Amino acid sequence: MLKFIKGHMESITGVEIYPLISLIIFFTFFMVLFWWVFTAKKEYINTVSNLPLDN
Protein backbone atom coordinates (compact mmCIF):
# COMPACT_ATOMS: atom_id res chain seq x y z
CA MET A 1 0.00 0.00 0.00
CA LEU A 2 2.78 2.42 0.92
CA LYS A 3 4.65 1.60 -2.31
CA PHE A 4 1.60 2.58 -4.32
CA ILE A 5 1.23 5.91 -2.51
CA LYS A 6 4.95 6.68 -2.78
CA GLY A 7 5.00 5.86 -6.49
CA HIS A 8 1.91 7.94 -7.11
CA MET A 9 3.24 10.93 -5.17
CA GLU A 10 6.59 10.82 -7.02
CA SER A 11 4.77 11.10 -10.34
CA ILE A 12 3.20 14.45 -9.35
CA THR A 13 5.34 17.40 -10.35
CA GLY A 14 5.99 19.96 -7.64
CA VAL A 15 4.78 17.72 -4.82
CA GLU A 16 7.94 18.31 -2.77
CA ILE A 17 6.74 21.82 -1.85
CA TYR A 18 3.78 20.56 0.23
CA PRO A 19 5.79 19.27 3.22
CA LEU A 20 7.65 22.57 3.32
CA ILE A 21 4.41 24.57 3.24
CA SER A 22 2.89 22.44 6.01
CA LEU A 23 6.03 22.89 8.14
CA ILE A 24 5.88 26.67 7.69
CA ILE A 25 2.18 26.75 8.61
CA PHE A 26 2.79 24.54 11.67
CA PHE A 27 5.77 26.60 12.83
CA THR A 28 3.94 29.92 12.29
CA PHE A 29 0.86 28.76 14.18
CA PHE A 30 2.82 27.69 17.23
CA MET A 31 5.01 30.78 17.21
CA VAL A 32 1.88 32.99 17.18
CA LEU A 33 0.37 30.88 19.96
CA PHE A 34 3.61 31.14 21.96
CA TRP A 35 3.63 34.92 21.49
CA TRP A 36 -0.04 35.20 22.53
CA VAL A 37 0.55 33.19 25.72
CA PHE A 38 3.35 35.47 26.86
CA THR A 39 1.57 38.72 25.97
CA ALA A 40 -1.90 37.86 27.32
CA LYS A 41 -3.08 39.89 30.30
CA LYS A 42 -3.14 38.10 33.63
CA GLU A 43 -6.70 39.28 34.37
CA TYR A 44 -7.96 37.66 31.16
CA ILE A 45 -6.16 34.39 31.92
CA ASN A 46 -7.61 34.31 35.45
CA THR A 47 -11.12 35.10 34.19
CA VAL A 48 -11.03 32.37 31.56
CA SER A 49 -9.47 29.82 33.92
CA ASN A 50 -12.25 30.39 36.48
CA LEU A 51 -15.12 30.07 34.01
CA PRO A 52 -15.74 26.34 34.63
CA LEU A 53 -15.96 27.02 38.39
CA ASP A 54 -18.53 29.83 38.15
CA ASN A 55 -21.80 27.98 38.65
Indicate whether 7 pLDDT > 90. no
- pLDDT of 1: 67
In a domain, 6, yes or no: no
Tell me, yes or no, whether 9 lies in a domain. no
* 31 in a structural domain: yes
pTM of the model: 0.60
Q: Is 54 within the bounds of a domain?
A: no
The structural domain count of the chain equals 1
**Whole-number Å distance between alpha carbons of 9 and 13:** 9
Residue 33 within any structural domain of the chain: yes
**Which domain does 24 fall in, by range?**
17-48
Tell me the per-residue pLDDT of 24-45, one tens digit each, with 9 for 90 and over: 999 999 999 999 999 999 999 8
Look at residue 25 in the predicted model and tell me its pLDDT.
Answer: 98
CA dihedral 39, 40, 41, 44 (to 10 degrees): 180
